[in-house]
Structure formats: C-alpha cells, structure tokens
Structure 1
C-alpha cells in the first residue's frame, strides 16, 4: 500500500493499520505541531451509504462525547474522491493486542487495565451508547505527560456503536468472534449495554487467564473451566463468569456495575480507610456507587477525636466543620498530584473512617481540592464523570455556600451499597482549585445535612 503524501492539510508519515472498512495513517498537523491519526474509509465501501454513515457516526459520537477515556476526534474531512476521513488524537502507546503479543501482562497491571477499560466503557453507557466490539485491538494507550503515571487507556473504534434507543431491530451482524456476545449473532438481535459487559468479561479472561491471548485459542476455557493465573483474587473468576453469562439477564447491567463488582473482588483485605482516585477522578464515583473504596497505599494521618470544632487536612488548605461524633483522616488525595508533583490535599470524615468504605450503614464524606483538575475540568464536567449507574439520580441543583457555587447531585436507592450518595463540585474562592465532596449522609440526614456540611467547608490556595 503506497502512502499518500498528504490527506487534506496533514502530511502523512506512515501507515498505522488497516482493516476491512478503513485505513489509519500517521499524520502531522502543521497547526498544532503534533502527530494525529487519520482514519480513511476504504475505497470499496465509499458508495455504500449505510457503511459511510456508520463511519461518520463514529466521528460524530467521539466529537460529541469528547472524553479523556475515548479517542478524541479533532476534525472530519473528505478526500477528492469523496471518501470521508476522521482526524483523531494519536495513541502512540499502541494497543492492548500489541502488548499481549509480547507475553502475559503482570497480574496487578492486568487488573488495573481491566478496571480502566471498564471505566471507559462506563462513559459510553452513561451517555446511552453501546460499543459492540470490545477487543484488545480496540483498546489503545496514550503515554501520560507525567513520567511517574501509567499510560492512559483509551476506548477506540466506535464504528459499530449505536445509540441504545435505536440498537434493536434489524441490524447487521457486527462484532469479533470470541469477544462478541451471543445475542449479537442473530440478524434480529436486540443489543444493549450487557453486550459490552460480555466483551469486558472476555477481555478479563484474556488478561487474567492462564494462557493470555484470544479467549478462543486452545488452552483458554472461558466457559465453565476458565482458570485464573496465580495471584489473581479468587472472586474475580465469579465476576468474569457473571459477565460472560450466555443470557444477558444473568450479566451485570452495564460497565459501571461490572467495575464495582471487579473492585469488590480485588480490594485488599485491610481495615485502613482510603479513597481511590486515579487520574482525574478515575473510577471513584463508579466504585462508591457500590459502597466501597480501595486502598491507595498512602500514609494516613489521624487527628484526635474532638467534641466540636473544625478539622484540617495535613496541608491546612482544607478545613471542615466536623459533624458531632465524626473523626477525620487523610494525608493526601491518592493518585491526584498537583503542579508541584505532590499529592493534592484531601480529607475523609466519618464516625468510623475505617468502616466507611465497607459498611453501607456508616455515613461519611470525602473532600478534595485540586489545582490540576481546575485547569482541565469545569464543575459540570467533573460531575458528569461521576455517574452512579446502580442508583436513581435526582435533579442536579445549584447552591452557593461559604463562597463556593456548588453543583450538587444526589443518588438514591443504590443497590448493594450506600443508600444515598451525594456528589458536589465547585470552584474554591481566590482560584484555590476545584473542590470536590462526596457525601454519604446519616439516615436521618438529607439535603439539610448535606448543605450544612458543604457550608462548613473552607479551602484556600
């Protein structure tokens, strides 16, 4: 295949890959001074209006969602021969398929990757989108700008994705054997988020099975006889069996529920309280939807129990009026680092900080302050990244308390976890940063308790 010199204004460097429907080239954007990936519809499909529209649907979806866990689209264009192309962010870290080709991925890293993949798919499901083709080749990596951070995981190739509202009825058979849910086999298939849960389960079997690779290869028995590698928590097998159940009704309802179940199966047996937040709030909202947190392995500083007054984090940048009988803990926002490279400030309050993560009956609150997030997110954007799929969402409200304009979202009726979860995000005064609070109020609390707690938060730069 001869590489074109240019596609639109982009200089082409080399071929990145090709498939039945499209070819992807590595290009250079002269305006941004950066490399981009340019996906061009295959010539033999250009006149097929159905395929052409599906190709453009991918660009429209990615442009509309514009999320850090998805491959971003910068522009859409058309060649002189009328073939459309998508200009996308370049994922220079390769694909999961590439990494698996070099051998098994260490168990701890494989579990982390599976959780990150589930978080990316949860973004799609929260917006009513089903991917339908989750495979190692569609999981890409982008190196993080911070050397100490792992590569970012990106969900790619949404050419087969469809809005859930129109995903039933007469649809073409679409998906990759070995990862495709059984209900995708028929021409009159009804496809919803549970088809992606099946794909997540198959990816888990690929990452964690005794013979890493395509789950249809000899030596991998995903149905019934699936065997985990040494070092994988035993409960993970149950999660993967549920995810890959033949009947959609027997699977987890969506990617967020799968992520929560995976977190329960992999959490460390420790009593230490903590708060899981990776890059830009990674999975914190998803995991707490199931009423749990995962140890981040950071030192925890405790303050003496007091009858009244305020407590502060270890930097003094966050102070909170402590509800009666509550204690505080926290030495930094685990995984969230500021411009100076240090952990950004955070504080956990609860009548029993050690049990808040595990016991649905124990109320509590997490408060974090981030300069980094303030530079990349508005409060509305950050709030949108914390859906709770296993809860009923109440209308978002706006309230100004103690100099902060808070966006507040409450979730009730959560299955298998805290009965009520409240997410609140605002911008601290004097450019102190983005301030985030996650509150699980006591049973006799409610909006009055939440507003009183938010009114007691003070932050400074």
Structure 2
C-alpha cells in the first residue's frame, strides 16, 4: 500500500489505522497549523453503493450532531479515483484498545471511564440513534482542558467514534444486515428479523465494562468476578446490561449510567470533570445552552391527563414533582434531566412539551418548551444568575423582565435571533418552598407574544 502524499488541502504524514471498510491517515493543515484524521473508503469497497452510502452517512451524522462527546467531522471530499473521504478531528490520545493492550487500567479509573463512555452513547440515544458496534477500538481520546465535558485523566476527552453501523431507530429493525463485533454485539443483532434499539448499545456498554474491569462474564447471565477496588454493586449493573433478553436490560445509555452512578456511592461512575456550560448545536443552530454534563433533554416517561383544549380542563403532564398545563395541540414527554443528577444518583426531573416533543430540539420550525427542576443548581446560583449563563449566538437579548406566575417569581429574558428560531425565551425561578430552581426554555409559536409565555409559565407547577 502506497501512502498518498496529499488528500485535498492536507499533507499526509502517516497511517493511523486500517479497518474493514476504511483506512485513516494523519493529515496536516499548513494554513491552520493543525492535524486532522482523514478517513478514506477502502479500494475494495469503493464500487459497493451500499457501503459507500454507509460511509457518507457516518460523516453526515457526525457533522449534524456536532457534539464534543463524539468525533467531529469538518468536511467530506472525493479522491481522484472516486473514493469518498471525511476529514475529522484527530484523536491524538489513541484508542481504548491501545491502552488495554498495555495492561489493565486502575479499577477506579476504569469505572469512571465507563461512565464517560455511557454519557457519549447517551448523546446518540437522545437523538434516536443506535451505534450497534461499541468496542474498545471505537472509544478514542483527545487531549483537551480539564474543564471539557467528557474530560478524562489529564484533561483528555473521551470520544465515541465509528458510527458507520449506526442507524436511526426507525430504520434499525427489520431486514437489516448483521452488524457488530463478536464479544460486544447483543444477541438480537444476530437475528435479521429482530428489533435493534438502544438496548443493544446497553449490552455493548456492559461488555465494555467487563473488559475494563477485568471480569469474565462468559455467556450472558453467567457469574462475574470483579477486580479488587470495584464496588460490588457494579457487578449487578453489568449483569443486567448484558442480559440475554433486551427487556431485562437498562432501557438506554442514560439509564445505564445512572445505575452505574448509584452503584458507586463515592462517585466513581460520575464524570471526571465538574459540570460546565456548553452549547448544544442542532442542525447548525445554537438551540439550548445548559450547565450540565451530558446535555439537555428529557428522558422518556411521565403521565398526561386531560383534553388538551388549552382552556379549562386542558391536558396536563406530570414528571416527578413537575406538572405542566399543555397549550392546545401540544404533548409532553420526559421524567429526567439528562446528565443532571440529584444527591440520590437519579436524574433530576424534566420534560419537553411541543406539538411533536421528540422532534422539537432538531426542528427549528416547531414551537415547544423544556422544563426542568434542579436542587443542585439552586444551591449554586440565583434564577437571574442562571438566566445570565444562557446567551444565544446570533441573537439579541431584550431587557430582562420579572413576572409572578403560579406563586413563582420568574426572571425572563427574550432573545431575538437572526437565524434558526426567531425567538428563544429563557426563564428561571425558585420553586415553592425553595425546592429547587425551575428552568424553562421556550420557543413560542410564530406571532405570539409575552402573554403566551406568561400563560405557559403560569401552567408550570412544582409540588
């Protein structure tokens, strides 16, 4: 194999790795004085349209997600021979496979690392994406700052890579090709007629846990042996994650991570770094900015009652201690604030409401709202301080106003935006009895004004 001298505008320095479908080269951008990883489709697959499309799907998917827990894609191109390539951020710390080849990691480090891997997979699950091939070779490390979300030892970021086998949940069932790596692949991935969903990735996380912690799970359901220093309850978490039947596993990566946290009372399963602010980008538009490790979204769940008329007897939705009155035509989902944990290790309560709540974060044409309750946030800042932490790019903040609705004194800031959603409203207040900080982010329907916002806030109740 002859190494290329140049790919696009990048000078090729060396080969980083070779996989079943592609090879990855280290490229150098002289204009920006930086290195990149360039993934090129292998020659023997260049004429297979199915594989070619899968290769490009991975690049499109990573570009669309654009999340710091995932390998980022900067551009795509095509070689002179027609093979596609993608230009990605270089994971200069290598892979988990490389590190495990040098010997086992300390038990405490391994447990924390497993929690970070689960947080990265949870990003995919929040957008309805199943990875389907979680292996040590697909977990990468990138040097960074200790404050970075997903930071590991010495400030490294833990990244999820190789989404070539990932598929949207809606397309992940039915007559799909067998995909995955033996030893990490869920049993149902061997059945072309089986439904493959987020629980297949939970199985992969469990198997990664066995590999990291030096235990031998054997077949699913068999006994496990933990290394010294691993909290005993972690065994139960890994055992459930690798159950033979998907219904017996944790429902998704966020639930797996929460269980891991509860099994490590000293916090070993939690993130390496303290929470910080970051902007969640969807389709190139800054949508939500939240001080939370792992992002902002409501995990599925909750109870809805009523008619949904928007007037007396309107539908309501309850998520833990939060109950909201739904505007006409809106629905709600959610029972947990992803990445934000209470003292008991459970997710703090949250929900999303919209005419189509599962699409709201990704579709700038949809009105909707996120509602969350956080005792930990109330302990560190005020409602005004929390709202001040949430700027929006390409938006102008109008003067803050105060309104009292349903016994809560709200601080409200409205942003007028040039791109994406024309209006974004940030609101925060203290729950009755100072039970926690109540945070609401609203993208109101077109043509509505402050009255819509105040009516929505009046329908937010905390018990």
Q: Which residue of 1 aligns with 2:43?
A: 43
Q: Does the CA-based 8 Å contact 1:25-1:38 persist in structure 2? A: yes
Q: Which residue number in structure 2 is paired with residue 73 of structure 1?
A: 73
Q: CA deviation at 1:40?
A: 0.2
Aligned partner of 2:289 in structure 1 is none
Equivalent residue for 1:239? 237
**Structure holding more strand per residue:** 2
Looking at structure 2, the residues matched to 132 and 196 of structure 1 have their Cα atoms a distance apart, in angstroms, of 6
In the alignment, is the contact (CA less than 8 A) between 2:143 and 2:156 conserved in 1?
Answer: yes
Q: Which residue of 1 aligns with 2:102?
A: 102
Q: Which residue of 1 aligns with 2:126?
A: 126
Structure 1's unaligned 5+ residue stretches are 270-274, 291-353, 381-398, 411-418, 427-445, 453-461
Structure-2 change in CA distance of 1:134 and 1:356 (3 Å): closer
Taking structure 1 as the reference length, what is the TM-score of the superposition? 0.63
Number of the residue aligned with 2:59:
59
User: Given that residues 72 and 89 in structure 1 are in contact (C-alpha distance below 8 angstroms), is that contact kept between their aligned partners in structure 2?
Assistant: yes
In the TM superposition, 1:111-190 aligns within 5 A as: 111-146=111-146, 149-190=154-195
Post-superposition, which runs of at least 4 consecutive aligned residues in structure 1 deviate over 6 A?
284-290, 354-363, 373-377, 449-452
- 1:369 Cα offset (Å): 6.6
Counterpart in the other structure of 1:364: 375
- Matching residue of 2:30: 30
- Number of residue pairs aligned between Structure 1 and Structure 2: 331
Give the Cα–Cα distance (whole angstroms) in 2 for the partners of residues 196 and 409 of structure 1.
Answer: 35
Q: TM-score, length-normalised on structure 2?
A: 0.63
TM-superposed CA distance for 1:222, in Å, is 6.2
Measure, in 2, the Cα distance between the counterparts of 1:154 and 1:253: 22
Distance 2:387 2:86 in 1: 30
2:299 and 2:76 map into 1 onto residues whose CA distance is: 38
Q: Deviations over 1:383-403 (max 9, x none)?
A: xxxxxxxxxxxxxxxx97266
**CA deviations over 1:397-422 (Å, ceiling 9, x no partner):** xx972667653699xxxxxxxx9995
The offset of 1:360, in angstroms, is: 8.9
Q: Tell me: CA distance 1:355–1:365, structure 2 relative to 1, closer, same or farther (3 Å).
A: closer
Q: How does 1:331-350 map to 2 (within 5 A)?
A: none
CA 42–276 in structure 1, closer or farther in 2 if over 3 Å, else same: same
SS in structure 2 of the partner of residue 366 of structure 1: helix
In structure 1, what is the equivalent of residue 264 of structure 2? 266
CA distance in 1, matches of 2:347, 2:122: 25
Question: What do you get for the CA RMSD once the two structures are aligned?
Answer: 4.1
Q: How does 1:283-302 map to 2 (within 5 A)?
A: 283=294
> Quick one: distance in 1 between partners of 2:345 and 2:187?
36
Q: Contact 2:74–2:88 at 8 Å: present in 1 too?
A: yes
Q: Which aligned pairs between 1:294-313 and structure 2 lie closer than 5 A?
A: none
| Greater CA drift, 82-91 or 227-236 | 227-236
Pairing 1:407–2:426 present = yes
Distance in 1, Cα, partners of 2:5 & 2:389? 35
Could you tell me how far apart the structure 1 residues matched to 2:343 and 2:177 are?
49
Deviation at 1:375, TM superposition (A): 13
Q: Which range moved further: 244-253 or 186-195?
A: 186-195
- 1:314-333 pair list within 5 angstroms: none
2:250 aligned to 249, 252, 263, which one? 252
